[in-house]
Structure 1
Amino acid sequence: MVVATFSLVARDPETGDLGVAVASKFLAVGAVVPFARAGVGAIATQSYANPRFGPQGLALLEQGASPEGVLEAFRRTDPGLERRQFGLVSAKGEALTFTGAECHPWAGGLSGEGYAAQGNLLSGPEVVEAMVETFLREEGTPFPERLLLALKAGEAAGGDKRGKQSAALLVVGEGKGYGGLWDRYIDLRADDHPEPVDELFRLLSLHRLLFERPREKRPLTEEEVRWLQRVLRAQGLYAGEAHGVFDRATEEALLALVGMENLEERYGGGPEVDEATLAYLKERYPWS
């Protein structure tokens, strides 16, 4: 399986989150290339990809192996290593990129503290260079967006010389997944799209709206409660009057509406709501 692609594997020094951003002229590249586990590391495997590199490499990192130790283990166990390419970053920020001698040109990579960028069948080395330059320059930008900006820079520099088809973004962090029950909190894919990287930006924005846990909330005004009660009644969720008092019946109906709109990560009850949730509901159910 030739997964000719360009990818960035990285660690966020502020949060310890780990992620992989990848794009390719290949159907559903996100199903093959990216692997990550919070507190352990992240890996991208490509170019005649060996998908076993993901779980095997993460297991080795978890056991305390260095990136170089992971490479040596792959060298011992995979006779096709010289056709393959991978990049990895450990939870400590140790990084390595490997390009086998038999990868289709242009192929190569760059690595440094907290990042590994690599690609094959690219227009040239400027693709990898642009990814690294952008990733380092965008320090301070939220980590998922920083990964996508680097991927976009690689695309703008030429990307996969065969064209565009798919892209993916995988980010993990301790307890940041759905319901706080696992570590995979962003796992987005554009499997077959004319502008897959741009589509990932759109999906990330939607993901933040639906699943990001708000840091600040404010009490609903009496007017907003009255509007909300009218909305809830129209949806068959509330049988009371639009009196503007946030009572238990209103709360239960709002919880039901939030569940219908997939906003349950943003609202868990009470008279306080974050601005993004409120703006979404006002647009979805026109404010009047």
Structure 2
Amino acid sequence: MTFSLLGRCARTGQIGAAGATSDIGVGARIQHIAAGVGAVLTQHRTDPRLGPRGVALLRSGCPAAETVAALVASTPHQAWRQLAALDAEGRTAHHHGAQVKPERGDAHGRDCVAIGNILSSSAVPAAMVRAFEADPDAPLGDRLLAALGAGEAAGGEHGPVISAVLEIHGDQDFALADLRVDRAADPIAELAGLWRDYAPKIDEFILRATDPDRALGGASGSVVPTGPAA
């Protein structure tokens, strides 16, 4: 009952994830990302413990395929797990356990991998990958949301989704964006609206963390910030 995608921007090195599900609070469970390292998805009978374990494997130098294989080997409940990994070089891998409910699917593309379970069609992940690959020069957040929208347009789940997530990491040790709609009638549309409002502020939020004297409302106090301080 979840469809999601991991993606990397080859130009900037940014890595991100987008996903949606018919359960509440998807963004609290499925995506695990580290800047310059890679990302892991864990879903179906979700075990969030596998995410940090996978990121640690990627950080140690394991490529995506070895990371997924090690995660599968490390859990006694691998039959219930659906996993995907993306490493810093853009390589990808996935796992569907034997108990993952249909329709299930996966698709791999350049710098991306999509997986889904309890889908209306096994073709949903391929639609997501095509949308992600369509404009490689676009901002990563735009590409991830295009993939999520394409998955929904291709049929998404059997039932309506109620939560969605978009998370992006760049060259900082904190997320550039971590946007979540935990429960809504149209969470993907709401998430897209959040991204439109948030994206123009990312550079300012980075300055507030790394060089606050140059940020709006800095040392002189002569400029009033345009957005809420974080």
Q: TM-score, normalised by structure 2?
A: 0.89
1:6 alignment counterpart: 3
- In the other structure, the counterpart of 1:37 is 34
Within 5 A, what are the aligned runs for 1:2-151? Answer: 4-151=1-148
Counterpart position of 1:186:
177
| Contiguous gaps of at least 5 residues in structure 1 | 176-181, 215-250, 266-288
Which residue does 2:227 correspond to in 1?
Answer: 262
Deviation at 1:263, TM superposition (A): 6.1
1:143 partner amino acid: L
> Aligned partners of 2:162, 2:181: CA distance in 1, in Å?
8
Give the superposition deviation at 1:75.
2.5
Give the direction of change, closer, same or farther, for the CA distance of 1:264–1:110 in structure 2 (3 Å limit): same
Taking the aligned partners of 1:33 and 1:119, their CA distance within structure 2 comes to: 12
Greater mean deviation of Cα atoms: 187-196 or 137-146: 137-146
SS in 1 for 2:46: coil
Match status 1:200 vs 2:191: yes
Return 5+ residue gaps in structure 2 as ranges: 206-218
Cα-Cα RMSD: 1.8
Name whichever structure is richer in strand by fraction: 2
Partner of 2:155 in structure 1? 158
Q: For 1:87 and 1:76, locate their aligned partners in 2 and report how far apart those are by CA, in whole Å.
A: 14
Taking structure 1 as reference, are residues 73 and 253 closer, same or farther at Cα in structure 2, changes over 3 Å only?
Answer: closer
* Cα gap change, 1:264 to 1:63, in 2 (>3 Å): same
Q: State the distance in 1 between where 2:196 and 2:71 align.
A: 37
In structure 2, C-alpha distance between the alignment counterparts of 1:190 and 1:263, rounded to whole Å: 19
1:115 Cα deviation from its structure 2 partner: 0.8
Amino acid in the other structure paired with 1:185: L
Deviation readout 1:251-271 (Å, 9 max, x if unpaired): 94543x31xx43669xxxxxx
- Conserved 8 A contact 1:98-1:109: no
Partner Cα separation in structure 1 for residue 178 and residue 103 of structure 2: 28
Give the total of aligned pairs.
Answer: 217
Deviation readout 1:171-229 (Å, 9 max, x if unpaired): 00112xxxxxx331100000001111111111011112433349xxxxxxxxxxxxxxx
The percent identity for this pair of structures is 35
Question: In structure 2, what is the equivalent of residue 272 of structure 1?
Answer: none
Map residues 207-286 of structure 1 onto 2, 5 A cutoff: 207-213=198-204, 252=220, 254-255=222-223, 257-258=224-225, 261-262=226-227
Structure of greater Rg: 1
Distance, in Å, in 1 between the alignment partners of 2:7 and 2:145 is 11
Residue 123 of structure 2 aligns with an amino acid whose one-letter code is E
Q: Give 3-state SS (helix, strand or coil) of 2:69's partner.
A: helix
